[in-house]
Amino acid sequence: MDRIRSTLLALVLHPTGQHDLALTAAEALAEGLDSPALREVAGLPLRDDDGTRSLFLVAAEELGLPVPSAGTQGRRRIELAHDREWSTRDQAAAYPAVRALLGAEALLPLERAFARVERDLRKTLRPDGRLQPVPVDNTGELLFFVGLGDGASWSGGRAVSFHTTETQLLVQVADCLSETVLEVWREQWPVCRQHDRPPADAHECGGEPVWWCSKGQHVLARIGQLTADVLLPRP
């Protein structure tokens, strides 16, 4: 089942790529999984086309795996990927499908970290700011960029691994957000009122996730509790 699930993730994250669906189905049958559509996919030629993808998704449904429902945008994105270009909005929109495949509980720590860091963004920089996890496959490892708004904009320099402690998740998300703000909005954030630039870094200090002013060598605030009074006023 893990191979089927991994292939579904690959289809969600790389819909324009080529995937060995018939081979995956044949290996799943050899491991003891079985369904009518799975047998049909296993008997198809080794090609990746829209018809094979549609049938593979049916097989996954027959096996009880969560996949985008028929007729939804997510399903069409997987099935018809060869007919269109892949955009940044498509990548951001893949998160609900990834969440369904992994299970909401598995991504709950990640979502809590995003919510806490978003609180800092709203309180000190953009009151209407929103963050969106943007999934990406990094040579087999699932990572997440920190997207702004609907997730269409993010920095590709750093990404978040959700296989870590909640403290490190907060540090990673905050660090990625600071880089994204600089790259997308051209602002250095957060900047210590007392010591000015460079902007504070996200660090783990004494087991706590904090914004750390490297110039003054002090904690600016805990991540999730940042306030405007400790930051340099914006022009």
Q: How far apart are CA 24 and CA 36, in angstroms?
A: 15
DSSP-derived secondary structure letter, 200:
P
The sign of the CA dihedral 85, 91, 95, 98 is: positive
Q: Which pLDDT value is given to residue 79?
A: 72
Residue 133, beta-bridge partner list: 146
Q: Which pLDDT value is given to residue 81?
A: 57
Sequence length of the chain is 235
Residue 204 CA from chain centroid, whole number: 22
**For the chain, how many helices (H) and strands (E)?**
9, 5
Are the CB atoms for 156 and 144 separated by under 8 Å? no
Q: Which pLDDT value is given to residue 234?
A: 85
Are the CB atoms for 158 and 134 separated by under 8 Å? no
Q: Which pLDDT value is given to residue 87?
A: 60
Q: Which pLDDT value is given to residue 235?
A: 78
pLDDT in tens, the chain (235 residues): 778 888 888 888 877 777 889 999 999 999 999 999 999 999 998 777 778 888 999 999 999 987 776 666 667 767 765 555 556 666 777 888 888 888 888 899 999 999 999 999 999 999 999 999 999 887 768 899 999 987 778 887 889 998 899 999 999 999 999 999 999 999 999 999 999 999 999 999 999 999 999 999 999 999 999 999 999 998 7
**Who contacts 22 (Cβ-Cβ below 8 Å, separation ≥6)?**
41, 42, 43, 44, 45, 46, 47, 52
Q: How far apart are CA 71 and CA 69, in angstroms?
A: 6
Count CB atoms within 10 A of the CB of residue 47: 11
Q: How would you label 143-155 residue by residue, b for 16+ Cβ within 10 Å and e otherwise?
A: bbbbbbeebbbbb
Q: How far apart are CA 112 and CA 201, in angstroms?
A: 20
| β 201-205/208-213 pair status | antiparallel
Count CB atoms within 10 A of the CB of residue 72: 13
pTM of the model: 0.80
Identity of the residue numbered 160 = V
